[in-house]
Structure 1
Amino acid sequence: MDSITQAALGATLGGLVLGSRLGRTALIGGAVLGTLPDMDVVIDYGSAVANFTQHRGFSHSLFVLIPLAVLLAYALHRWRPEISFTRWQLFTGLALVTHPLLDVFTTYGTQIFWPFGGPVAISSLFIIDPAYTLPLLIGVLVFLWRPTRLRPLAISAVLSTAYIGWSVAAQQMVAERVEPILAERNVNEAPKLVQPMPFSTLLWRVTVLGPNERLEIVTGFLDGDQAPRVEVFDRDQTLARAAHQLPEGQRLAWFTRDFLAYHNASDELRATDIRLGLPGAHPFTFVLARQQNGEWQPLRSERTPRPSIQDDMLSTLWRRITGDVSVLCLARLDTQTSTGEC
């Protein structure tokens, strides 16, 4: 999740554990610990793909954070021995460990079992979701105003946790909604990703990887009886096979479960992470190789500039979330077609 959300979650938990003893200082300490795992972004691993796939790696591992929490608790107990070591452990452990656990519910991928396992992504939350973050922020602000009241923090923690539960249930409902469509196209066993559209769990995007094409479906809970619509995008398997021969291409495919689009741009082999963002506005595209004499020569991967977002994208997205319009064409990122089809 975004840094504001992680800080708000850490502050909330810090306040619940030690707010009665440390007051506002507990919130500050919890917020700092809650954002600490993301400090790995300052590390340069040597290439764009390495930086991308090793973020949320060791710094988000339970095998790293749990021992770190114990060490920090020991140091803090030495500083303030009147607070029990167990209470300090609860303070540091909750603030640190809930960071990667929350990230697991997003789509990016979090290596909570590093170095023994791959990335885990439940994909039921968008990286920025006001419905999750606002209760935490309100609880924190109330406590800052009246630091003797822990109840607002407890209520905000319950509400935000319940929202995570709703997101998982909503994801399952969307998966069941599109199952007949996928079965009709004989791709119900194909790799599938069900995730919320930006900023809400009321509108969802389903991505399915067929043998030679990719299906995209946008469907929401405010669509009424509107049947989900399917958009089809080509998949270039020749370029995919070429990318899979490259070490960084293999690393990228492992990290994304091969939810990638490959294309040749000016004799450059590029791979785009299609899980994140939207078609036409995917933020992560990497140059993996350059073609010379008919052969792909591997490069130290580079990330291409992030595409610009249309000025009216937020209003368009809001109209689709609320059901004001029933079609959002991902290929063009617009809602208006003459036939109502994409």
Structure 2
Amino acid sequence: MDSITQAALGATVAGAIAGKRCNGKVLLAGALLGTLPDLDVFIDYGDDISNTVKHRGFSHSLLILLPFSLLLAALWHRYRPAEAWSFSRVWLLIAAGLITHPLLDTFTSYGTQLLWPIQGYYSLSSVFIIDPLYTLPLLFALGLGLAKPERLSRFCSLALVISSAYLGWSLMAKQQIESRALASLPPTHVAADKVFITPTPFNTLLWRIVVLEEDRYWEGLASVMDADTKIRFLEQHRGHWPLAQPSASLNDLRRFTDDFVRYDVDNGKLIVTDLRLGMMGNLAFQFQFAEQDAQGQWQPQLPVRLPRAEIQGDPTRLIDRALGAQNINAQLEICSANC
């Protein structure tokens, strides 16, 4: 999730745990703990693929954060002891502030390595990376609590209940869309584990579905507000890897995306795209892997992430589609214009 949301979550968790001990310093400490795991974005792993697939790695691992929280609590208890704060409460506040970050990240589509160094990306893919309906209750509780300090902890606890209920709703909405998607698949034998479902930006009403096969994939939009439960899919060409052998970077990207990638040749450049993040015509992660020389031979290169195209189009069409308007031409236009 975005940094504002993670800071708000960390502060709210700290406020709820602190109880009557809660004050502005506690909220600030919680906000810092809530954003700490994302400092790994400043680490350069050597190339754009490594920077992508290794983000949300060791700094998001429960196997690292829990021992680290014990170390921080021990240092605090030793050098800043306070009668009102027991070791167990200090540790609980630090641990909760840290681990709620990767747990929330797991609800997004960008995989989180919860058990690093054990390989594996965890993603429930039920909320967009920025979702105001999740964040606003947290910010509202913090603002209201600072205005009424005697009720700050109670406001924080209530906000956590509301935001957690929203995450529960997102999982139920996704389950509904998944059932509709499986019932609406084209008449081919597509394995259920090759269906990817994710919310569109800033909401959990409108969802994007990607159905993957060897040389093609289908993409569709579905809203929980749709009167017609059938999902209409647009078929897309997936392409193939033209070099003799896949590179180590490509294998890393395929593991990260669960093989939801597309291959394109554009002006002699080999581009590999993550199909999960973004929408048709405006996908967020595109990488150039190779370029053709004068003889038409592919020359591999260090993968470089390409800049994202500027988003154009009328955002109200996305809103209309989220509210249940169904038109296959409008759907294609939405997919091409929004991310």
TM bin (shorter chain): over 0.9
Q: How does 1:25-104 map to 2 (within 5 A)?
A: 25-78=25-78, 79-82=80-83, 83-104=85-106
Aligned to 1:247: 248
> Is the Cα contact below 8 Å between 1:136 and 1:157 reproduced in 2?
yes
Unaligned 5+ segments in structure 2 are none
Amino acid at match of 1:180: A
Distance 1:140 1:326 in 2: 42
Q: Does 1:141 align with 2:143?
A: yes
TM-score (norm 2): 0.92
The answer to whether the 8 A contact 1:243-1:250 is kept is: no
Say whether the 8 Å CA contact 1:280–1:332 is kept in structure 2. Answer: no
Letter in structure 2 aligned against 1:93: A
What is the DSSP-based 3-state SS (H/G/I as helix, E as strand, rest coil) of the residue aligned with 1:142? helix
One-letter code aligned to 1:40: D
Alignment-derived partner of residue 114 in structure 2: 112
C-alpha distance in structure 2 between counterparts of 1:2 and 1:329, whole Å:
30
Within the candidate set 299, 312, 329, 2:301 is matched to 299
Give the match's secondary structure for 2:312: coil
Question: For the residues of structure 2 that align with 1:297 and 1:184, how far apart are their CA atoms?
Answer: 39
CA distance in 2, matches of 1:101, 1:295: 45
Q: Structure 1 unaligned runs (5+)?
A: 337-342
Moved more, 41-50 or 315-324: 315-324
Distance 2:42 2:331 in 1: 33
How many Å apart are 1:325 and its aligned residue? 5.3
CA, structure 1 residues 238+23, in 2 after alignment: closer, same or farther (shift >3 Å)? closer
Indicate the percent of aligned positions where both proteins have the same amino acid: 43
Deviation for aligned residue 1:322: 1.6
For 1:254, give the aligned amino acid: R
Instruction: For residue 4 of structure 1, report the CA deviation from its aligned partner.
Output: 0.9
1:128-151 CA distance string (max 9 Å, x none): 111111111111111111121122
SS in 2 for 1:128: coil
Quote how far apart the aligned CAs of 1:284 are.
Answer: 1.2
CA contact (8 A) 2:180 2:229 kept: no
The 3-state SS of whatever aligns with 1:300 is: strand
Q: Which residue of 2 aligns with 1:203?
A: 206
Report the Cα offset of residue 226 of structure 1: 5.7
Distance (Å, rounded) in 2 between the aligned partners of 1:132 and 1:328: 31
Q: Report what 1:213 is aligned to.
A: 216
Q: Is contact 1:108-1:121 (8 Å) kept?
A: yes
Q: Distance in 2 between matches of 1:317 and 1:50?
A: 33
Structure 1's consecutive aligned runs of 4 or more residues displaced over 3 angstroms after TM superposition are: 292-295, 324-332
Seen in structure 2, the aligned counterparts of structure 1 residues 120 and 17 have a Cα distance that, compared at 3 Å, is same
Deviation at 1:267, TM superposition (A): 1.7
**1:23 and 2:26 correspond:** no
